[in-house]
Structure 1
Amino acid sequence: MKRIVAIHLLNDYSGSPKVLMQLLKAWTKNSMETHLFTSGGRKGFLSDISKVRNHYFWYRFSPNPVTRICNFFLCQFLLMIKLLFFLKRKDILYINTVLPFGAAIAGKIKGCKVIYHIHETSIKPAIFKNLLFGIAKFTAHKIVFVSEFLLRQESLINNQVLLYNVLEQDFVEKADQFQNHQNTVPVVLMICSLKIYKGVNEFLQLAQQNSQYIFKLVVNASEQEILDYFRMKEIPKNLKIYPTQVDTHIFYREADLVVNLSHPDLWVETFGLTILEGMRYRLPAIVPPIGGVTELVKNGENGFWVNSKNINELSEKINYILKDRIIYQSFSDAAYAKSLMFSEEYFEKESIHIISSL
């Protein structure tokens, strides 16, 4: 039986490792021998997955950009060497995101079937992006994209497939037990990384401009990182900020609206898993006007497309959705109906086909 050797750079609680976790569970459920190589030393979605054989390589993230890039290239060299000794010709090498290029080179040398699962397009600087995508094009036998937008945007080889991100069955069951309600004081929720290009500052401005609502920001960061980021900023009383959360259900249950405020000029959302999670909780959504996230939100039906730079328009759309109960219910029902299309059954079937069709 062929082995699947999956590679992911940084194990945390963000979207791309969560998708790989779902893939690993689908493969092991179907009795496929599965190995995972990821950086050690931290907990994330890829930790302690049953029946997956774990292997670790060195990588240390640094806030200093020069140190970070040096660490990254050293990490890829060490990963390549490690895999050259581990891989067999019949292995299927499944590379999650374009970052672990050392694995792709090792797979090419060893004659493995290489599959890339591409989640991203906004990689800077351009020379770095060209390197990563160039290696993917040179080494990949198949490329999986998370949205139609990304497939069109970054088309690299002939053998390309679309596999939408989906919600785990456990998440679906918990969400479907909840009966949606509208709070006395409506809650606007955003879950994201603590990055400027994710629209954190715009979310702060929205809270300042709309004191009639509660704004909840859940970021993939520590308490200290939050303190450092907001040290020189004035935080209004109606904005509540939370560090990394393993379980986000309580936030969706307490919310009335979910937003994504990524800057389209700096970071294009290729899918938007937190938006899909919110929609399963019947939450209308406001998202950027470009990217894969627009495949989830139909403008004017289950949410709106608004550029995060347009704070006044964002406020208008938030008020439009939240102030009228009939309008809110219509958007809420449409959001839930759309979420039903992204099932774990579809994901598992397609993930097995991607491997077996090589």
Structure 2
Amino acid sequence: MKASNSAHHAENSVKNDLVFIHLLNDSSGSPLVLNETIRAVRSLNLQIKLYIGSHGDGILSGCGIPVTRYWYRRSSGSRLLTLFTYFTSQVILFFKLMTDRSISRNALIYVNTLLPFGAALYGKMTGRKVIYHIHEISITPRPFKYLLTTITRITSCFNIYVSDNHMKALYIPGVPARRVYNSLDADFVERSVISTYAHRYERYFNILMIASLRDYKGVPELIALAELLHGNSDIRIDLVVNNDAMEIKQYFAGRNLPSNVTVHSRTKDTAAFYGRANLVLNLSRVDEWVETFGLTILESISFGIPVIVPPVGGPTELISDGVEGFWVDSRNIDLLKEQVLLLFQNKELALKMSADCRKRAMDFTPECFAENIRKVIAQIS
């Protein structure tokens, strides 16, 4: 009994100065950026820990710091059920934090995305400073967006945005803010540097799209494009989704999937797909989902792969139209097909764009990101 009490006391004697909070641990952009943020601050003389929702086993599972999970189940059912499980998770998160004696009295609460508002309320009510690293912009329904942004306005002492467009579009009055561009992790960058871009691989022109299986991410537009390109036997399309096999089956049930499209389930090794891609697409619908940054775009140009991106939001800060790729509204399927075929047929243009992509990627190094994050932490601490 004494040994048990001693161990419990030793555990609680370590006081955490910085607590990261995230909801869904998958392989999407926001946990990838949080993983880089954790790497950036590990060099500081701080005790840090991470709270993440219990649903998912993604990039944050290997973040290398102590992790506490709180209950969360991502529902694929009705929106009402989704909201119920979400709000329940935030109540649980709030009380879990309230009973955590390992958190220093002056700890900084770092909330990743607008979603884990339970942590922000905890920080405000206990007199701890709260930082929000905001990634989203297209939040629905409108009352939900109002709730999240209001909590942010009341609780946050500093907001980090991922692009200038993002900061303008979701500016929260009264809260100091700064834009910090995302970066890629060092391991990914190393793989991209040694990869050589080619206009074809084994005679095929490979088109890649990495996205969640959501209509607003442009999956129906990709299928429509594939049907238009079906007559070009040298063009193949890979769709890598942030979903498992069952979700893929459910999404495509009753839909016609063209034979030139291969759908791949969730993977932690997206670099393997970039290594054999000749063109990357981001077809997010401009009227439903404005990309705040577009991490897959940065991943693409890091590999020297030309990209086609939406003409709005963060992607326009990454890509210049006609330089590293093209700006195309995915609703304009004829223009989309035209630009794809232009790169398919024009090897010289594709190689020129590839070289420009690599130059542009140098502006988003992990070192630059880490330095900016550490500056924010030092400023607020």
Moved over 3 A (4+): none
Q: 1:323 aligns with which of 345, 361, 365?
A: 345
1:204 to 220, 223, 235: 223
What letter is aligned with 1:326?
Answer: E
In 1, distance between residues paired with 2:27 and 2:90? 22
- AA of the residue aligned to 1:284: P
* C-alpha RMSD of matched pairs (Å): 1.2
Q: Which runs of 5+ in 2 are unaligned?
A: 1-14
- Corresponding residue of 1:54: 67
**In structure 2, C-alpha distance between the alignment counterparts of 1:126 and 1:15, rounded to whole Å:** 23
Give yes or no for the alignment of 1:95 onto 2:114. Answer: no
The question of whether the paired residues in 2 share the 8 Å contact of 1:149 and 1:291 is answered with yes
The unaligned stretches of length 5 or more in structure 1 are: none
1:327 CA drift (Å): 1.1
Whole-angstrom CA distance in 1 between matches of 2:33 and 2:273: 21
Q: TM-score, normalised by structure 2?
A: 0.91
Q: 1:21 aligns with which of 32, 35, 39?
A: 35
Structure 2 residue matching 1:164: 3-state secondary structure: coil
TM-score normalised over the length of structure 1:
0.97
Of 193, 200, 204, 1:185 maps to 204
Amino acid at match of 1:61: R
Q: Deviations over 1:284-321 (max 9, x none)?
A: 11011101111111011111111111111100011112
Tell me which residue corresponds to 2:139. 123
Check whether the contact 2:16–2:104 (CA below 8 A) recurs between aligned residues. Answer: no
Give 2:258's aligned residue: 236
Counterparts of residues 1-358 of structure 1 (less than 5 Å): 3-50=17-64, 52-64=65-77, 65-86=79-100, 87-156=103-172, 157-183=174-200, 184-211=203-230, 212=232, 213-358=235-380
Using the alignment, how far apart are the partners of 1:198 and 1:48 within structure 2? 27
Shift of 1:233: 1.5
Select the structure of larger CA radius of gyration: 2
Post-superposition shift, 1:215? Answer: 0.7
Could you tell me which amino acid in structure 1 is paired with residue 136 of structure 2? E
CA distance in 2, matches of 1:48, 1:261: 30
Partner amino acid, structure 2, of 1:93: I
User: 1:186 is matched by which residue type in structure 2?
Assistant: F
1:230–1:41: structure 2 CA closer, same or farther, 3 Å change rule? closer
Q: CA deviation at 1:158?
A: 4.3
Identical columns (%): 38
Aligned residues: 357
CA contact (8 A) 1:88 1:110 kept: no
CA distance 1:114–1:269, change in 2 (3 Å): same
CA positional deviation for 1:249: 1.3
The SS at the match of 1:188 is strand
Please give the per-residue CA displacement for 1:219-270, whole angstroms capped at 9, x wherever unaligned: 0011111111112112222111100011011111111000100011111100
Letter paired with 2:72: Y
Q: Structure 2 CA distance, aligned partners of 1:236 and 1:160?
A: 45
Distance 2:118 2:240 in 1: 33
- Deviations along 1:22-43, one digit per CA (max 9) or x if unpaired, are 1111111334211100112531
